[in-house]
Amino acid sequence: MIFKRINGPLAHLVEHHTFNVGVAGSSPARLILSMPRYEIIPHTADIGIKAYGTNLSEVFKNTAYAMFDIIADLDGLTKSVEQPIEAEAANREELLVAWLGELLYNFYTKQIIFFDFKIEELSDTRLKAQAFGRHIGENRNRLKTEIKAVTYHELKIQEKEGKFTATVIFDV
């Protein structure tokens, strides 16, 4: 499977999965399936998201990406900082909140806008990852929305037909 980035104003919302397929006796063809990284869901006072992934690791990365895409304009940022992140919790939903909370804490204390994530270890109760980003400094004009906290309200991770979704509400 090859992941490709597309261009355009909504490119950051979609990851393309390209598969080479073929039928006996014919030339191989390419099949491109698109799955959005996340979508904003309606919520009265706060901001809600639903993140998608083909596995638990991808949905954790896409939830983190969504949070920072709400906080700042991520288009065109280049990596200059790498931050190790570790989290533990009683279950995968609480682990998702702990993961996002650690990232948010690092955003506010170290002034780093994160936009790329590498999950090194992930179970239902423990996560070890690297977060990549850039110091706010010269990028202060990219800030959009202040997220105060990650909430447990409507929090859920679901797996259906080999696809994962995570619903998270952010206190703004």
Number of domains in the chain: 2
- Dihedral of the alpha carbons of 110, 127, 50, 171, in degrees to the nearest 10: -40
The two three-digit tokens of residue 137, written as one number: 């400094």
C-beta separation of 85 from 130 below 8 A: yes
59 and 118 fall within a common domain: yes
46 and 7 fall within a common domain: no
160 and 116 fall within a common domain: yes
Which amino acid would we find at residue 138?
Answer: E
Domain residue limits at 31: 1-36
> Residue 72 maps to which CATH number?
3.55.10.10
Per-residue pLDDT of 16-52, as tens digits, reads: 343 444 445 555 555 455 789 999 999 988 999 999 9
31 and 53 fall within a common domain: no
141 and 160 fall within a common domain: yes
Tell me, yes or no, if the pTM score tops 0.85. no
Per-residue pLDDT of 141-169, as tens digits, reads: 999 999 999 999 999 999 999 999 999 99
Helix (H, G, I), strand (E, B) or coil at 108: helix
1 and 58 fall within a common domain: no
The residue with tokens 């980003």 is 133
Per-residue pLDDT of 84-137, as tens digits, reads: 999 999 999 999 999 999 999 999 999 999 999 999 999 999 999 999 999 999
